[in-house]
Every structure is written in C-alpha cells, then in structure tokens.
Amino acid sequence: MSTVTISDKGQVVIPAAIRSRLGITPGSKLDFELEGDSIRIRLCKAIRPSRVEDGYGLLRCEWPGERRLADFDIAEAMRNQDAGGAKDRDDDCP
C-alpha cells in the first residue's frame, strides 16, 4: 500500500507502479465513489498516448506528382473531408 499527500489544490499523485499496471495515462478518466469512510477509485477509460505513426494514411491526396508535407494544408483537407470529400480545385493538393 502506498501513502501519498494531498496538495493545497486537492490533487493526489497516483504512484507510478499503480499507473503503469492499470494503464493510467494523462487524459484517463477515473470515477470516485464514497463507501462509508473510504473512497473507491475506478478506472473508467484509459487513454493511450497518440503517436505520429497512428495517423499514417489518415489523409490521402489523389493528385499525381511528388508532394511534401510542408505543402499540405491539413486544416483545409479536414474541412473538405467534413464537407463530403475533396473539392475539385487545383489548390487542394500541391
């Protein structure tokens, strides 16, 4: 059993061994429940940290030719995707 100290803001640090075993990462959701004079903490949702590789192939461009990431406007591509696909404009893909 580990003993921790509550900060002035009511924050508690979960020991690293417990975080590692349960897969608790930044952004994970925890549920607190009062049981008599005890607190039960339940992991609701563990969030796996994202990696650059996870986005591979997410956005595609069908235009021919060599493209560089610096030439690609990700925000516009996502807006086009939300609007139902890429627009037929020359500036969609470099």
Kindly report, residue by residue over 24-38, the tens digit of the pLDDT.
888 888 999 999 999
- State how far the alpha carbon of 85 is from the alpha carbons of 25, 59, 91, in Å: 34, 11, 14
The β-bridge relationship of strands 29-35 and 38-45 is antiparallel
- What radius of gyration do the chain's Cα atoms show? 23
- What is the residue extent of each domain of the chain? 52-82
Question: What is the spatial distance between Cα 27 and Cα 48, in angstroms, rounded to a whole number?
Answer: 9
At 5, is the pLDDT very low, low, confident or very high (cuts 50, 70, 90)? very high
CB-based contact 80:86 (threshold 8 Å)? yes
Question: What is the spatial distance between Cα 28 and Cα 43, in angstroms, rounded to a whole number?
Answer: 8
User: What 3-state DSSP class applies to 82?
Assistant: helix
Provide the CB-side half-sphere exposure for 55 (13 A, CA): 7
**43-75 per-position pLDDT tens digit:** 987 677 677 777 777 767 677 777 777 777 778
